[in-house]
Amino acid sequence: MELLLEPDAGLDLATGILDEARRRGATHVHVEPAGEGTQVRLRIAGQLVELLRVPGRIELDGADTGVDTARFGDRIVFHLPPPATRHGELEALGMAPALVRTLDPILARGNGLVLVAGPPGSGRTTTLRTLLRQLDDGTRNLLAVETAADLRDALRQDADAILIGAIADRETAQLAIQAVEAGHLVLAGIDAGDSIAAIQQMRALRIEPFQLASTLRAVIAQRLVRHLCRHCRRPVQAQGSVSALLGFDPGTIVYAPMGCERCDEGFSGRIAVFEAIRGDAPMRRLINDGGDGSIIARHAFLNAPNLGSAARAMVREGLTTPEEAVRVSKG
């Protein structure tokens, strides 16, 4: 297949090559000298295949392609990330695949209340909007609102799913419950330290236990931690009081920041730590019967991680540091 390119500028040429590579599902692009010219090859399904051969030098110096690039003398390798998927978008926030699979049927069901809890600055708005995008397949009417007045208007607009930025008062909480009872899916933020506190906050807003129990499908809670740079992090042995607080054995391998040209003193942005409570039948009974937080937590986290254990798992995976996990664990 012939690739039509305009070789007037390095960026235009690089963009054309990368666009074709993505179209063909390549993971890497190799640009390297070949005799008197330059060869471009794509790695597709593990094999290198030639894309084009140019009888001359391809000048790509200074072209900002927006993808990871490795240079070895006259050779250049572009590393293409996998195409974004809706699940990939959630996992990119830090959500574990098991939690994504738990949320799938809840979102597909199309009605119920999903709370996303966290203090200001925890990234909960980003998670809410990402969840809403999971539903955007062109067949649903999706609305986002901030106030009780906006929510009333949304209920008159035949919405399938409604995002509420924050449930901050009793009126908004009641309208959210009414929206669910009318058959809508409601995704709502709530200012609470964890998922148990989110349930307690809905109780404090005087939502009847039977209403909360019958409408609640899931509570997600999250915090942000600093994300270790994957290029320069270094393995070290866990030690000291921090490791003891996390329950790590002496000598457990964790990772520490170093710092390189690709990061900010060893860190590359932030990533979210999540916990979730699923509104299954036993949970509905506990909420309806007014079970206290410790009883609810015992059931919710019997086979699923809470914020603290999720943060510890991220430390073991080299995604963040023990110090960040301790901060999350302390609330």
- pLDDT tens digit sequence for 224-269: 999 999 899 999 988 878 888 888 888 889 999 999 888 888 998 8
Q: Domain spans of the chain?
A: 10-79, 86-329
- pLDDT on residue 157: 86
Going from the C-alpha of 5 to that of each of 20, 33, 60, 79, the distances in angstroms are 10, 18, 14, 20
- pLDDT tens digit sequence for 35-56: 888 899 998 766 788 888 888 7
Instruction: Report the C-alpha gap between 250 and 228 in whole angstroms.
Output: 22
Whether 10-79 shares its CATH topology with 86-329 is answered no
Instruction: Report the C-alpha gap between 328 and 330 in whole angstroms.
Output: 5
Lookup: tokens for 234: 């270094």
- pLDDT tens digit sequence for 188-225: 999 999 999 999 999 999 999 999 999 999 999 999 99
**In the CATH hierarchy, which fold is given to the domain comprising 86-329?**
Rossmann fold (3.40.50)
The CATH architecture that domain 10-79 belongs to is 2-Layer Sandwich (3.30)
Cβ neighbours around 328 below 10 Å, total:
19
Length of the chain counted residue by residue:
331
**pTM of the complete model beyond 0.85:** no
